[in-house]
A and B are shown apart, each in its own frame.
Chain A
Amino acid sequence: DAKTTQPTSMDCAEGRAANLPCNHSTISGNEYVYWYRQIHSQGPQYIIHGLKNNETNEMASLIITEDRKSSTLILPHATLRDTAVYYCIVSSSNAGGTSYGKLTFGQGTILTVHP
Chain B
Amino acid sequence: DTAVSQTPKYLVTQMGNDKSIKCEQNLGHDTMYWYKQDSKKFLKIMFSYNNKELIINETVPNRFSPKSPDKAHLNLHINSLELGDSAVYFCASSLQYEQYFGPGTRLTVT
Contacts and interface: CB of A to CB of B under 8 A. Distances in A.
Nearest to A110: B41
Which size bracket describes the interface of B in this complex? 20 to 34
B98 interface: yes
Contacts of A49: 97-98
Is chain B's binding surface mostly helix, strand, loop or mixed? strand
Contacts, number: 59
Interface in B52-73: 55-56
A65 interface: no
A42 B98 CA distance: 17
Interface in B6-27: none
Interface residues of A, number: 24
Interface of A: 32, 34, 36, 38, 41-46, 49, 85, 87, 93, 95, 98-105, 107
Interface of B: 4, 31, 33, 41-45, 48, 50, 55-56, 90, 92, 94, 96-104
7 contacts: A36-B99, A43-B103, A49-B97, A85-B41, A93-B96, A105-B43, A107-B41
